[in-house]
Amino acid sequence: MTTTTSPEAAARLVGDGADCCEPQPGTAPLEAEPAAELAAKFKALGDANRLLLLAMIASGESAEACVCDLTGPLGLGQPTVSHHLKILVDAGFLTREKRGTWSYYSVVPGALSELCAELCKESALGGLMDAPSCD
């Protein structure tokens, strides 16, 4: 703002009157739109019951399960499980196939790994991924 120059700004400007809070346009390498999409996916994973649902579905032999198989172990009501499953479907982690009276939910194969990959590619977040993760 006026006098107390931040160390960083001082290092760049050496001057005095410049404050440390300039907009610095173009600095953020991650745009708002992809950030929102990424956040939506993370938000879908940001619930313990949904993670458990994913794990339970994936752990099955056929990697699919109907709602009635998932309601009991979680201790949640059927509408709630249906709701969570819908969120996971909307986020692209599950697919729903209706066979007869039952709805079979199965895992979208590369969804999670793709999310991981996006984390690495998208913007400077790649700098955070120095350790080998999924191999």
Query: 1 to 30, contacts with its own copies by CB under 8 A?
Result: 1, 4, 6-9, 19-25, 27-30
Indicate which of DNA, its own copies, none lies near residue 92 (CB less than 5 to 8 Å, by partner kind): none
In the complex, minimum distance from the CB of residue 21 to its own copies, in angstroms, rounded to a whole number: 4
Q: Is 51 exposed, middle or buried (0-12, 13-18, 19+ CB in 10 A)?
A: middle
For position 76 contacting its own copies by CB under 8 A, the verdict is no
Q: Is 94 exposed, middle or buried (0-12, 13-18, 19+ CB in 10 A)?
A: buried
Pairwise CA distance, residues 97 & 9, whole Å: 57
The smaller minimum CB distance to its own copies, of residues 79 and 110, is found at 110
3-state DSSP assignment of residue 78: helix
Residue (of 38, 36, 13, 40) closest to 24 by Cα position? 13
Name the site residues for DNA (rule: CB under 7 A). Answer: 1-4, 6, 19-21, 43, 46-47, 49, 66-68, 75-80, 82-87, 96, 98, 100-103
Indicate which of DNA, its own copies, none lies near residue 63 (CB less than 5 to 8 Å, by partner kind): its own copies
Indicate which of its own copies, DNA, none lies near residue 15 (CB less than 5 to 8 Å, by partner kind): none
Give the residue carrying structure tokens 């996916």.
Answer: 41
The smaller minimum CB distance to DNA, of residues 79 and 126, is found at 79
